[in-house]
Amino acid sequence: MPVRNIRQRPVAVTKTVTNLDNKYVIRTIRDLMDTINTRPDVTLLSANHIGINLSTFIALLKNPGKNENGEDVYKYVLQVFHNPLLLESSEEVADGWEGCVSSFDTAYRVERSIWIKVGYNNDLGEWKIKEYTNENARSILRGLDYLDGLMPCDLAKDVGSWNSILAARMQEIEAHRQKLAIEEAVAAGMANEAVAEVDTEETEEG
């Protein structure tokens, strides 16, 4: 299995993909797939990140769907982008923490558009134009940056540790749970008092 080393700082890409049947392109996709499959923490990988000068990246995108009960579910699908081009992006932006395949525990807070329109060649060579939002838009914008030789650290508004960020998030979740538990207890107490008042009134009337 041809697993490649991931470069700390990818060099900006200068070559477009012109022939998907080219053995070099086929091998690049295979190497990207094999490399990302060995890194469960990585959801995005560009060709120049493994030392290949091609305008290609693969991204694990969140796709909505339905289960057998008709309920909304999400599954992650690995998608190939050749020669991606940003066509439009929203003025509305959002901050989000991003990782980088070159650094494990470091997280970068980066501002991104929440909606984008992108043109690209898929793995069949077909030119596609699609719109993406939120998490998927952020991933694709990061992939476009990689192809230009830019890293999240170049765009970061803040830097943190994934361990501390996750710990803080868990504290927020626990505080929220405790607040809900208190509200439920208060609501239950008020309900019990109301029932007691009704019982007292009925006893007095009787």
Predicted confidence (pLDDT) at residue 58 exceeds the cutoff of 90: yes
Q: pLDDT tens, 81-135?
A: 999 999 999 999 999 988 877 666 788 899 999 999 999 999 888 999 999 999 9
Cβ density class 132-165: b for 16+ within 10 Å, e for less:
beeebbbbbbbbbbbbeeebbeebbeeeeeeeee
CA distance 114 to 136: 9
Higher pLDDT, 38 or 180: 38
The per-residue DSSP string of 177-191 comes to HHHHHHHHHHHHHHH
What is the length of the chain? 206
For the ranges 4-18, 103-117, 129-143, 188-202, which has the lowest average pLDDT?
Answer: 188-202
CB 142 within 8 A of CB 84: no
Which residue bears the tokens 């043109």?
Answer: 119
Predicted confidence (pLDDT) at residue 7 exceeds the cutoff of 60: yes
Q: What is the mean pLDDT of residues 58-75?
A: 82
Nearest to 83 by CA among 46, 50, 116: 46
| Residue-level pLDDT at 95 | 93
Predicted confidence (pLDDT) at residue 75 exceeds the cutoff of 60: yes
Dihedral pair phi/psi, residue 18, rounded to 5°: -110, -20
For the chain, give the mean pLDDT: 83
Q: Show me where the domains of the chain are located.
A: 23-156, 166-206
Classify 23-156 by CATH class: alpha beta
pTM for the model: 0.76
